[in-house]
């Protein structure tokens, strides 16, 4: 991969993958940036490595599931759970998409006004 820093050897990446899987397993609500800080890896770089793709997806999935479950049970701050879930793509508003023309019919009496 072009632009990959030299310290990201295959062995180093394998260690990062193992570390991330361990973090996910041991953390109730995993936060990817927290793991990045612990490992000293800039969070913007982790998405560049295919080797980290599956554990990153698992991290996000576990975070989402546990925030929902714990939020519903009242075991985490609901405002923070909502905020975090919105960052994962959740929305608390309905978006209605309309396709087609809208026809407006005026009563004859209104046309004469």
Mean pLDDT of 44-61: 94
Instruction: Give me the residue label for tokens 């295919």.
Output: 50
In the prediction, which pLDDT does 8 show? 80
Instruction: Give me the residue label for tokens 């899987």.
Output: 21
Nearest to 35 by CA among 16, 58, 54: 16
For the stretch 25-50, pLDDT in tens is 999 999 999 999 999 999 998 999 99
Residue ranges of the domains in the chain? 10-88
Contact 70, 84 (CB under 8 A): no
């Amino acid at each position: 991969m072009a632009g990959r820093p030299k310290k990201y050897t295959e062995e180093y990446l394998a260690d990062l993958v193992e570390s991330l899987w361990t973090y996910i397993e041991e953390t109730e609500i995993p936060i990817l940036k927290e793991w990045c800080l612990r490992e000293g890896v800039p969070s913007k770089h982790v998405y560049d490595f295919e080797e980290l793709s599956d554990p990153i997806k698992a991290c996000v999935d576990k975070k989402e599931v546990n925030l929902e479950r714990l939020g519903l049970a009242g075991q985490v701050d609901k405002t923070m759970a909502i905020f975090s879930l919105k960052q994962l793509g959740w929305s608390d508003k309905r978006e209605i998409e309309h396709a087609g023309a809208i026809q407006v019919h005026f009563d004859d009496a209104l046309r004469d006004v």
